[in-house]
Amino acid sequence: MSIISPAFRGFIKLRQSAIDNFMHNPIDTQQQVFNNLVGSAQFTEYGKAHKFETINSIAEFKKLVPVNDYDTLKPYIERVLEGKPNVLWPSPITWFAKSSGTTSDKSKFIPVSKESMDETHYRAGRDVLALYMRQFPQTNITSGKCLVLGGSHQVNQLNTESFFGDLSAVMLQNMPLAGQLFRTPELSIALMNEWEEKIEMIAQSTILENVTYIAGVPTWTIVLIKRIFEITGTNNLLDIWPDLELYIHGGVSFKPYRRQFQQYIPSAQMNYLETYNASEGFFAAQDRVGIDGMLLFLNHGIFYEFMPMDEYGKENPRTLTLKEVELHKKYALLISTNAGLWRYMVGDTIEFTSLDPFRIKVTGRLKHFINAFGEEVIVDNTDQAITKACAETGAIVNDYSAAPVYMTGKDNGAHEWIIEFEHLPCPLEDFVVKLDKALQTVNSDYEAKRYKDIALRMPIVHVMPVDGFKHWLKDKGKLGGQHKVPRLSNERNYLEEMLAYCKEQKTGNAEQRVAKTVL
């Protein structure tokens, strides 16, 4: 065990007490966060424009401040990028998280204040460990290092004093020395821009470290693990890191990847912990391994609102606070933060799995869905269907994307999928049947449209060669870090691009050959 572990454990106990406080006093905690945010920003440009000094309640705040997205806040953010002070938040802002939540060519630069680093991101990171150590008090996680698979950074050329990068890179660059001691690889490697060279350097430099836990997006963590296996000649990660006990994941649903990780790390003692961390803030993490839902972080510089889905798109949508939400209803997440994002729509949809304490799960994206025929399929549905189909067939899926095929004069509509398999032990047709049936069980609207092929016929499925999605991302300049394949789209733009990567490859492996199957 590390010499400083006892001191660290003492600090963790303090964080556990702080967590207990907001869990037991959620409404009062959020009211205090709200008061602090509005009071701090009342003399900013945005605060003056929206009369923050007159606001005495959440209801008044909702009347005076509109619901925002990036486009509506962009004129203010551009002034912050130019170095103008006191625009959205009173303290100086010299760091920006370049949003990479989609593969759109449009970049978003999210302000990251000193307060949001310390009170939101770093505090939440410590609380993730506090939550884990409460569940597993005998853990030796602090005896080794955390392998962090983050993004890259570069200087923001709009202002010589400002910098931007993936959120993970921003956090690594500004992390206190004490935190740097507990992580690997070294900073110069962690912040490399060229992703393939970076994977190689991380693999080579970490195999001799004592890694006790890993943090990263599943897709790119798998790429790293495969390279480590190639270097070491093993197919068991515990041969390299025998003390490995935790994988902290987020960014995409872990359901399609769980079986793969269990093969790579064949141990019943290995734990998996989900987090909800975005460029705009660190919102939640599992407080109990194995349960469905993440504890909402309520005292981390963020005030939350929740928009019922039938309000989305309205000019003045109704939003709810914590005391008004209900279980298992989908809401669009809105935040006001200590970096000056006011009533900002993150773009995610969530639902509450518990109201005491408040736990949430991410169900999808506001713009990542398929609803061409009234089927209202969201990412949570397709993740569940993929997981069920894999369990029934023994298949392992690396990634997937889907979009609608619209009705023609003679054919009904369909969903067209591109799936990259790590392993496909059955005929593709069998997998597609299982996938279709599984999707019908989790989405009654899809089931109704599939009934006797009334509106939707069987899915059209293409097999993407292994690493095909990786090549697509690379060609778009979106390889690595927090970049992800868009799982669902109601338009065909992404899918049409991806189809070009589904080419016949004479590898001698039938599992990797392209199949364009209409069933």
| Residue 341, φ and ψ in degrees, nearest 5 | -90, 115
Which residues are 306's β-sheet partners? 320, 333
Cβ neighbors of 429 (< 8 A, separation 6 or more) are: 517, 519
Give mean pLDDT, residues 328-339: 96
Distance separating alpha carbons of residues 432 and 389, to the nearest angstrom: 8
* Residue keyed to tokens 């690379």: 474
* For residues 124-136, average pLDDT: 94
- Tell me which residue of 518, 473, 480, 481 sits closest to 497, measured CA to CA: 473
Per-residue confidence (pLDDT) for residue 375, from 0 to 100:
85
As a whole number, mean pLDDT of residues 31-59 equals 98
Across the strands, what pairs with 361? Answer: 351
Please list the residues that pair with 276 across neighbouring strands. Answer: 284
**Tens digits of residue pLDDT in 10-25:** 788 899 999 999 999 9
Indicate the helix (H) or strand (E) that contains 198: helix 195-206
pLDDT 10s digits, 107-124: 789 999 999 999 999 999
Q: Report yes or no: 112 and 77 within 8 Å, Cβ to Cβ.
A: no
Q: Stretch 256-279: mean pLDDT, rounded?
A: 92
pLDDT digits (tens, 9 = 90+) for 173-208: 888 887 788 899 998 888 887 778 888 999 999 999
What backbone phi and psi angles, to 5 degrees, belong to 388?
-65, -45
Asked if 260 and 270 count as a contact pair (C-beta separation under 8 A), the reply is: no
pLDDT score of 483 more than 80: no
β-strands 396-405, 414-423: how paired? antiparallel
Measured between alpha carbons, how far is residue 43 from residues 54, 119, 336 in Å? Answer: 11, 21, 16
Higher pLDDT, 130 or 9: 130
| Contact present, 514 and 133 (Cβ < 8 Å) | no
Q: Mean pLDDT, to the nearest integer, of 317-327?
A: 97
pLDDT tens figures, 152-170: 665 565 677 888 888 888 8
What pLDDT score was predicted for residue 515?
39
What one-character DSSP code corresponds to residue 465? P
H or E element at residue 402? strand 396-405
- CA 456 to chain CA centroid, nearest Å: 30
pLDDT tens readout for residues 68-89: 999 999 999 999 999 999 999 9
